Amino acid sequence: MSQVQSGILPEHCRAAIWIEANVKGEVDALRAASKTFADKLATFEAKFPDAHLGAVVAFGNNTWRALSGGVGAEELKDFPGYGKGLAPTTQFDVLIHILSLRHDVNFSVAQAAMEAFGDCIEVKEEIHGFRWVEERDLSG
């Protein structure tokens, strides 16, 4: 049975890691790696319940179509760039979003993600973020 991913729109997190990557090779390896990562994530969630850990693995339009046997979602489109650098198009195949109250746990989960996905993805960008004093972002 399908289960909602734990990182969708939580309001509790203080730290996050975003990893964007492209697929290398066949999508069957990506499918298996996603399952492996979900299992590893469940282990971390059980080990660190106080961290309120969550994570999402998201796929770009073409990757989703490949994973779903060419069917895809009609509403899923490539992200168009807007403005002058305000919303850049970073159209990679995979997004791994990890978030919790603890950066150390996030970092460990990111390491587990890289172990799970291994050679089936090529990381293009990794960003670490946090909420600042009084739960604010850097804009104040």
100-138: pLDDT as tens digits: 999 999 999 999 999 999 999 999 999 998 887 776 666
- Tell me the whole-structure pTM to 2 decimals: 0.85
Lowest average pLDDT, out of 23-27, 80-84, 127-131, goes to: 80-84
Under 8 Å between Cβ of 92 and 60:
yes
**In the block, which residue shows the tokens 């994570």?**
55
Q: β-strands 54-59, 15-23: how paired?
A: unpaired
Residue 7 has pLDDT above 60, yes or no: no
Q: Average pLDDT, stretch 45-69?
A: 93
Going from the N-terminus, what domains does the chain have, and what CATH number goes with each?
15-73+88-133 (3.30.70.1030)
Reading the block at residue 85, the tokens are 């650098």
